[in-house]
Amino acid sequence: MKNVLVTGGAGFIGSNFVRYLLEVDPQVQIVNLDALTYAGSLENLKDLPHLERYTFVQGDICNGDLVRDLLRQYQIDTIVHFAAESHVDRSILSPEPFIQANVIGTFTLLEAARQYWLVEKALPIEQVRFHHVSTDEVYGTLGPDDPAFSETTPYAPNSPYAASKASSDHLARSYNHTYQLPVTISNCSNNYGPRQFPEKLIPLIILNALTGKPLPVYGDGQQIRDWLFVTDHCEAIHLILTQGTSGETYNIGGNNQPANLTIVETVCDLLDEMQPLTAPHRNLIKFVTDRPGHDRRYAMNISKIERELGWRPRYALTDGLFATVQWILANPDWVAAIQKQREYQSWLTKNYETREKSS
């Protein structure tokens, strides 16, 4: 791995991964291709280490000419593909951009890689890799007693977001099977940590709580996610890139599976200690109309990546949440930049005004 194209590296996980890779691997040159949608920001890339090994390109992964030019210009041997529309609620209100970015975008990248690596044979085949970053949501939802998702669980995506990611996974798999493009796929559970856009549960709750706003909990708040601190995810992807087997899929998860309401209460209790209001933050919790088609429970069986690559999550949930709150408190400029985005404010109105319901 020498010349790495990261897509979506101005978003939450991508920007953490760029930072992580520059720090752990002194050999890599990174080209970060990101369209800077509402979810991507150069604020996420401030103070990167080793800037001499880093290039930013603003552009769309659906632009085949641009992607082909970048592969050739930088002799890209590794693609780590994060770029996507990533928020389930937005996919319910407006699915089209998800098909464009997640399906067409992934297809465009795979085609460009096939052309450059397999047709032009630009680089030795054993030195190239396409890593596709995906989600546990492709597996659908679990009942209370169902076993956790494994790599062989059949796909059953329930939201337009999950369906678009499932489609992109299938395309990535097919390029390996049909053309022998060296592809790996990871399906990961919910991430949290520094630089997560505050449309997702944890940063939304932290920012609302800090300003005394209601904390919206969908439905009964008993839905379950498997939470993973973002640098643990970055470490897992790096291991797959360096030691994983082409053609394989790896499940990644946090072994942290509390109900949403417990997550919100834990954040409230942390803030009572770190940034007290006159009343407990829990008083701000408000149950609101549920998400349509809301998946009830996710859980990941991570025994394959533990066994084959020796990876396991490092962060306990309380430590990760503490680090996340601390990062937000220490970065008011990052918070202010997002809060003054008109698009963000109109999203909050669009998503929450219609589901308001008294608790």
Residues that are catalytic: 136-137, 161
- Residue of 31, 34, 90, 232 that binds ligand NAD (CB under 6 A): 34
Residue nearest to ligand NAD (CB): 11
- The C-alpha angle 152, 154, 160, rounded to 5 degrees, equals 130
> Interface with ligand NAD includes 135 (CB under 6 A)?
yes
> Interface with ligand NAD includes 83 (CB under 6 A)?
yes
Residue closer to ligand TYD, measured from CB, 90 or 238: 90
Q: Least distance from C-beta 277 to ligand NAD, angstroms?
A: 28
| Contact pattern from residue 132 through residue 171 relative to ligand TYD, giving x for each residue in contact according to CB under 6 A and a dash for the rest | ----------------------------------------
Q: Which residues contact 183 (CB under 8 A, 6 or more apart)?
A: 129, 130, 131, 132, 172, 173, 175, 176, 246, 247
Contact call for residues 108 and 63 (beta carbons, < 8 A): yes
Please identify, among the stretches 38-46, 66-74, 170-178, 210-218, the one whose residues bind ligand TYD according to the rule CB under 6 A: 210-218
- Token readout for 112 is 């460009």
Residue closer to ligand TYD, measured from CB, 33 or 217: 217
Contact call for residues 108 and 171 (beta carbons, < 8 A): no
Q: Least distance from C-beta 231 to ligand TYD, angstroms?
A: 18
Contact call for residues 1 and 25 (beta carbons, < 8 A): yes
Phi and psi at 127, nearest 5°, equal: -100, 5
Q: Three-class SS of residue 10?
A: coil
Number of residues that bind ligand NAD (CB under 6 A): 31
Beta bridge partners of 111: none
How far is 165 from 294, CA to CA, in rounded Å?
A: 17
Q: Least distance from C-beta 322 to ligand NAD, angstroms?
A: 19
- Residue of 36, 48, 57, 323 that binds ligand NAD (CB under 6 A): 36
- Residue of 78, 91, 191, 251 that binds ligand NAD (CB under 6 A): 191
> Interface with ligand TYD includes 231 (CB under 6 A)?
no
Contact call for residues 202 and 225 (beta carbons, < 8 A): no
> Interface with ligand NAD includes 295 (CB under 6 A)?
no
> Interface with ligand NAD includes 10 (CB under 6 A)?
yes
Residue closer to ligand TYD, measured from CB, 288 or 302: 288
245 to 112, 250, 263, 267, 330: CA distances (angstroms): 22, 10, 35, 38, 39
Q: Least distance from C-beta 168 to ligand TYD, angstroms?
A: 16
> Interface with ligand TYD includes 223 (CB under 6 A)?
yes
> Interface with ligand TYD includes 190 (CB under 6 A)?
yes
Residue closer to ligand TYD, measured from CB, 182 or 194: 194
- Token readout for 76 is 């890209």
Beta bridge partners of 285: 215
> Interface with ligand TYD includes 216 (CB under 6 A)?
yes
Q: Least distance from C-beta 270 to ligand TYD, angstroms?
A: 17
Please identify, among the stretches 53-61, 198-206, 245-253, 271-279, the one whose residues bind ligand TYD according to the rule CB under 6 A: 198-206
Helix H segments across the chain?
12-24, 64-73, 88-93, 96-98, 105-113, 160-179, 201-210, 230-243, 260-274, 303-309, 317-330, 332-339, 342-352
> Interface with ligand TYD includes 260 (CB under 6 A)?
yes
Q: Least distance from C-beta 295 to ligand NAD, angstroms?
A: 13
Phi and psi at 149, nearest 5°, equal: -65, 135
Contact call for residues 113 and 130 (beta carbons, < 8 A): yes
- Token readout for 349 is 């109105």
Site residues (vs ligand NAD, CB under 6 A): 7-8, 10-14, 34-37, 39-40, 60-62, 82-86, 101, 105, 133-135, 165, 188, 190-191, 197
Site residues (vs ligand TYD, CB under 6 A): 88, 190, 200-201, 204, 216-218, 223, 225, 260, 291
